[in-house]
Structure 1
Amino acid sequence: MASRRDFLSSGAVVAAGFALAPLSACSREPASAAAPGASDSARADKPFSGTLLKRKIPATGESIPIIGLGTSGNFEIGDDAAAREPLREVLKRFVDAGATVVDTAPTYSSAEDVLGELVAAAKLREKLFLATKLSGVDGREEGLSQFERSLRRLRTERIDLLQVHNLRDTRTQLALARELKQQGKVRLVGLTHYREEAQEQLAQDMRALKPDFVQINYSVISRGAERSIFPLARELGIAVMINRAFEDGRLFAQVKGKPLPAWAAEVDADSWAQLFLKFVLSEPAVTVVIPATSKPKNQTDNLKAGVGAMLDAKQREELVAAVG
């Protein structure tokens, strides 16, 4: 997801970021486990069908699909031409399904370059809601220089959402983002973090600075955002983007070998991944979730979470218990 190495915005912990990289490679095979009694063919790579649900961005009134795409880890492939091929299919399936929101950052090593090349080659820019960040910089000039590099790397003249990453130099960088918005180079501005201990500060900044968007972690086992971020977002009219919905793959390990709940079909889900995403999306304050993948089959699986019913309160409680 977009947050797997979010802390890379601090140069002092870059090495730690790479130490965490194996977590993002956790197997998600249990996420494709079919309902009890289903055959392997039921877990085949079936085409996506249906219409993705959309939710409104309060600042503009525009609606965006609720399933997005993160680029941390999966798009950090440098010049590896072979690794680009599945990503081309990931993007194709994403856009063909009507999804639009792609989130990246200049501190996700080569992710902006790879995304920019793939989007340009497939002529997809006008079909995407492109989000990136001011990340790991201090002062207006550093932020501006980084933003200009991001435009070049992403091969675009505008950014749909420019976010201040991990609340670093927040007021200066958000002021710059708003300046770029006035210039027509940015449409919306936001604040991000990926850890629950940062949510108190994020809530303070939401109230004081009133960004258009916030991005924060939320999952079946990380529910801190329910206490402050979501109520405040509803009160202030701030859109919410969710990272780490799979806990960097750890959720799949926690349900390995378990059958799906009997009620999964009631919410149009046939995989654990879909249930984890629907849990996130059953929170009304959430606007979009951005799971990351480099596998086309998993992309289709993620997209399926964006159609049909979401979880009710009882189903949410039962899913929490199943993972615990």
Structure 2
Amino acid sequence: MTPHGLLPAHLTRARFLRLLAALPAGAALSSFAQQQQQQQLTPPKPPMKMNTRPIPSTQEALPVIGCGTWIGFDQRPGTAEYQRLPGVLDALFAAGGQLIDSSPMYGRSEQTTGELLAASGQHDKAFLATKVWTSGREAGIAQMEQSFERLRTRRIDLMQVHNLLDWRTHLATLRDWKAQGRVRYIGITHYTASAYAEVEAVLRAEKLDFLQINYSADAREAEQRLLPLAAERGVAVIVNLPFGGGGLLRRLRDRPLPAWAGEIGCTSWAQLLLKFVLSHPGVTCVIPGTSRAEHMTDNAAAGKGTYGDAAFWRAHTAELSR
């Protein structure tokens, strides 16, 4: 007699015996045994992992989707908006993401990030990136020391000069701090094409680990000089504003997703726009901002599978601009 513990949950002992009686002797038992054996021999497929790309200066692998904290993490404890944020970080880490990008310019975002990581005990899962955004050596040092306190960490993975503000002064400090091990990587940021000439000049003149710049399907100027130059100089690229500041995604979200999106595994417009950004080989990581766990999960899915080659996007990019 087959032990009741081997029966599927939906099959009662009485129903199993009725089925057994209705079949030729031994047939039901043989079929059932074969099914059980097949299930044991076919292990479940592991979930697809988020892709990584190397940071050129060290070859450290960095997951390709991170999280920006501008606006979304500028929240105070006790509010409904704040209560949603632990789920965002849980979703990022569960998907294999690491990079969390902030700035003292973003109101309370650094402090919120530090509080959430401390409360959940997940500091070791995060690649922490923030910025210095002030003028003068002493003011810059004071602001960066405050970032360490707010983020509740002794070492910051990436410190960036925000929007090139007094970049010569701050890069000198950051090189010293990198040598001391206080920061692991240094870089510069900007978010508008009007600054690209100065960004290019700094990229050519200075030894940097990271460039953070805007790039999206409707703002592609970075393709012309900055992304190729960063690759030539061995500089990792973090992309901000991948949804065109939000306007592009808002324009598309009520339209049906095109059938060709499925060719690269996309199930949402957000994933499609993120995969466009990641299709450029010069991009290391993209940091869409969000304050909702379900959006973080959706965004993170764009970091898996393939992104489409240049020919694929030449055939379809125009549809994103209509």
CA distance in structure 1 between the partners assigned to 2:273 and 2:92 by the alignment? 19
Partner of 1:74: 72
CA distance in structure 1 between the partners assigned to 2:173 and 2:307 by the alignment? 38
CA distance in structure 1 between the partners assigned to 2:160 and 2:310 by the alignment? 32
CA distance in structure 2 between the partners assigned to 1:257 and 1:67 by the alignment? 24
CA distance in structure 2 between the partners assigned to 1:250 and 1:80 by the alignment? 30
Return the match for 1:111 from 109, 112, 129.
109
Partner of 1:56: 54
TM-score (norm 1): 0.83
Q: Any idea what SS the aligned residue of 1:187 has?
A: strand
Q: Any idea what SS the aligned residue of 2:238 has?
A: strand
Matched, 1:131 2:101: no
Matched, 1:271 2:268: yes
Deviation at 1:206, TM superposition (A): 0.4
Question: 1:1-324, aligned counterparts within 5 Å?
Answer: 49-135=47-133, 137-317=134-314, 318-324=316-322
Q: Any idea what SS the aligned residue of 2:104 has?
A: coil
Contact residue 217 and residue 320 of structure 2 kept, 8 A: no
Q: Any idea what SS the aligned residue of 2:160 has?
A: strand
Deviation at 1:115, TM superposition (A): 0.6
Partner of 1:17: none
Deviation at 1:98, TM superposition (A): 1.4
CA distance in structure 2 between the partners assigned to 1:222 and 1:153 by the alignment? 33
User: Larger Rg: 1 or 2?
Assistant: 2
Q: Any idea what SS the aligned residue of 1:52 has?
A: coil
Deviation at 1:191, TM superposition (A): 0.3
Deviation at 1:264, TM superposition (A): 1.1
Deviation at 1:102, TM superposition (A): 0.5
CA distance in structure 2 between the partners assigned to 1:319 and 1:272 by the alignment? 13
Letter of the aligned partner of 1:84 in structure 2? Y
CA distance in structure 2 between the partners assigned to 1:164 and 1:254 by the alignment? 32
- Segments of structure 2 that go 5 or more residues without pairing to the other structure are 1-45
User: For 1:6-43, what per-residue CA distance to the aligned partner results, in whole angstroms no more than 9, with x for missing partners?
Assistant: xxxxxxxxxxxxxxxxxxxxxxxxxxxxxxxxxxxxxx
Partner of 2:42: none
Contact residue 215 and residue 222 of structure 2 kept, 8 A: yes
Letter of the aligned partner of 1:103 in structure 2? D
Partner of 1:26: none
CA RMSD in angstroms, aligned pairs only: 1.3
Contact residue 242 and residue 274 of structure 2 kept, 8 A: yes
CA distance in structure 2 between the partners assigned to 1:254 and 1:83 by the alignment? 25
CA distance in structure 1 between the partners assigned to 2:243 and 2:78 by the alignment? 26
CA distance in structure 2 between the partners assigned to 1:121 and 1:188 by the alignment? 26
Deviation at 1:49, TM superposition (A): 4.4
Deviation at 1:133, TM superposition (A): 0.4
CA distance in structure 1 between the partners assigned to 2:229 and 2:49 by the alignment? 29
Q: Number of paired residues?
A: 276
Contact residue 59 and residue 237 of structure 1 kept, 8 A: yes
Contact residue 102 and residue 110 of structure 2 kept, 8 A: yes
CA distance in structure 1 between the partners assigned to 2:282 and 2:107 by the alignment? 31
Contact residue 255 and residue 323 of structure 1 kept, 8 A: no
Letter of the aligned partner of 2:307 in structure 1? M
User: For 1:102-140, what per-residue CA distance to the aligned partner results, in whole angstroms no more than 9, with x for missing partners?
Assistant: 1000110000111100011011111111000011x1111
- Segments of structure 1 that go 5 or more residues without pairing to the other structure are 1-47
Contact residue 76 and residue 82 of structure 2 kept, 8 A: no
Contact residue 218 and residue 245 of structure 1 kept, 8 A: yes
CA distance in structure 1 between the partners assigned to 2:147 and 2:261 by the alignment? 41
CA distance in structure 2 between the partners assigned to 1:292 and 1:229 by the alignment? 22
Contact residue 89 and residue 296 of structure 1 kept, 8 A: yes
TM-score (norm 2): 0.83
Letter of the aligned partner of 2:123 in structure 1? R
Letter of the aligned partner of 2:57 in structure 1? A
CA distance in structure 2 between the partners assigned to 1:219 and 1:166 by the alignment? 18
CA distance in structure 2 between the partners assigned to 1:322 and 1:281 by the alignment? 16
CA distance in structure 2 between the partners assigned to 1:121 and 1:250 by the alignment? 34
Q: Any idea what SS the aligned residue of 1:242 has?
A: strand
